[in-house]
Amino acid sequence: MKCFYWSPFLTPIATPRAVINSAHSLQKFSKKNSCSIINFFGEFNIYEKELKNNQIRTINFFGKFFIDYLPKYGKIKSRFSFIIIFILSFFPLKKLIMNEKPDFLIVQLITSLPMILLLLFKFKTKFILRISGLPKLNIFRKILWKITLKKFHLITCPTESTYEYIKSLNIVEAEKIKILYDPVIEVIEIKKKINEKSDLEFKNYFLAAGRLTKQKNFIFLCRAFHEVLDKYPDYKLLIAGEGEDKKKIKEFIIKNNLEKNIFLIDYVKNIFPLIKNAEAFILSSLWEDPGFVIIESAFCRKTVFSSNCLTGPREIIKDNYNGFLFESNNIKSFLENFDKLIKKKKDKKILLNNLRYIKRFTLFNHYKALKMLLSF
């Protein structure tokens, strides 16, 4: 079986990791499968070594460094880049599918291009849409989805919340919508990376990580942690990531004299040593689907303290059972539940329960589920 993945991205996010792990799982557990990741403008170059080690083919079109010239941050600039990607990739993607005739094309990011191609041309390849997060559908997108999803073989959702949301839109037959958990945990890889030495040395810190965007809600986290310091002055907060909110977060830290307690560090390729040495992991997002880093933190035997946002975390974390939840964007709830976290952050029962809950996100479980769906 020949399977291609289409998932172009501009900045380091969790989705490409899921794409690589998905392709890896298909090839690792069955020699009959051949997977390729479309690397149109060099976005997957940062994973070059990993792709090579896992023998995953990359299909390159516009050179290794084309991505360096595209604007990445800001709504308008990123939209401009998406338009450029759409225009430049239209005919190369069509030609690739026509010539190589993969059995499946799994579509995850910048989905409008494969949708338009499927609308205009006939392909023997079966298209599968993997949804990430709750898609925001304006009138144009809703019409496009309603027309094109009829031609898709399957639509997969990473959480039950997203599954129910897509069903409620009534834009595609319910039989085509399936739940497929993302393959977050590569046991061998994590065990190897967790013991690598980190250049960053901190003590008594809580860790947060992700793109510095509105979704991740790091300004709220800084405000909440500012109040935490009134009771726990020796604790520190590390925020790892890049994004358009970086300037705002820096300004907040400086304005409130928090330079000795809140540290904004750049994107860290290997986050696992930082997770290992943290007191706990904090997720403050307004929405997630499902929240890769909380799964990775749980696997690293770290307690997770997460917002009870609309999708994702609440399906993984059961409050006071395998982690702790606070009301999204609510400082009072954050502070009340932070006290509970401090008392139980190293509770062996909570950590063990966490490991049980995240088994569904292993490579092998993803492979079994995906194999079943591909034969659907």
Is there a shared CATH topology between the 2-184+361-374 domain and the 188-357 domain? yes
Give one word for 63, left, alpha or beta, with left for phi > 0 and alpha for psi -120 to 50.
left
Taking CA atoms, 231 is separated from 219, 225, 278, 279, in Å, by 20, 10, 19, 16
What is the CATH superfamily name and number for domain 2-184+361-374?
A: Glycogen Phosphorylase B; (3.40.50.2000)
Give the three-state DSSP class for 179. strand
pLDDT at 134: 76
In angstroms, rounded to a whole number, what is the distance separating the alpha carbons of residues 188 and 237? Answer: 29
pLDDT at 187: 81
Could you give the dihedral angle defined by the CA atoms of residues 189, 195, 199 and 200, in that order, rounded to the nearest 10 degrees? 100
Give the three-state DSSP class for 287. coil
The amino acid at 250: K
Q: Let me know: does 1 contact 104? Beta carbons within 8 Å.
A: yes
Q: Dihedral sign, CA of 15, 20, 25, 30?
A: positive
Q: Which helix (H) or strand (E) holds 129?
A: strand 126-130
Q: Which of 154, 88, 158 is nearest to 312 (CA)?
A: 158
Residue 168, number of CB atoms within 10 A of its CB = 8
Q: Over the chain, what is the mean pLDDT? A: 90
pLDDT at 231: 96
In angstroms, rounded to a whole number, what is the distance separating the alpha carbons of residues 92 and 55? Answer: 23
Residue 316 corresponds to which tokens in the numbers above? 């993984």
**Burial environment of residue 97 by CB neighbours within 10 A (0 to 12, 13 to 18, 19 or more):** buried
Could you give the dihedral angle defined by the CA atoms of residues 243, 246, 247 and 253, in that order, rounded to the nearest 10 degrees? 170
Give the three-state DSSP class for 107. strand
pLDDT at 369: 94
pLDDT at 366: 94
- List, in order, residues 6 or more apart from 190 with CB less than 8 Å away: 272, 296, 299, 300
Stretches where the chain sits below pLDDT 50 are none
Residue 212, number of CB atoms within 10 A of its CB = 24
Backbone angles phi, psi at 312, to 5 degrees: 95, -90
Rg over CA atoms, the chain: 21
Q: Residue 290, preceding bond cis, omega within 30 degrees?
A: yes
Domain positions in the chain are 2-184+361-374, 188-357
- In 160-310, at which residue ranges do the beta strands (DSSP E only) sit? 177-179, 205-209, 236-240, 262-265, 281-283, 304-307
Q: Which of 96, 148, 147 is nearest to 125 (CA)?
A: 96
Residue 296 corresponds to which tokens in the numbers above? 């990775």
Give the three-state DSSP class for 363. helix
Task: Tell me how far apart the 2 most distant CA atoms of the chain are, in Å.
Answer: 64
Give one word for 241, left, alpha or beta, with left for phi > 0 and alpha for psi -120 to 50.
left
Q: Which helix (H) or strand (E) holds 187?
A: helix 187-193
Task: Indicate the CATH number for domain 188-357.
Answer: 3.40.50.2000
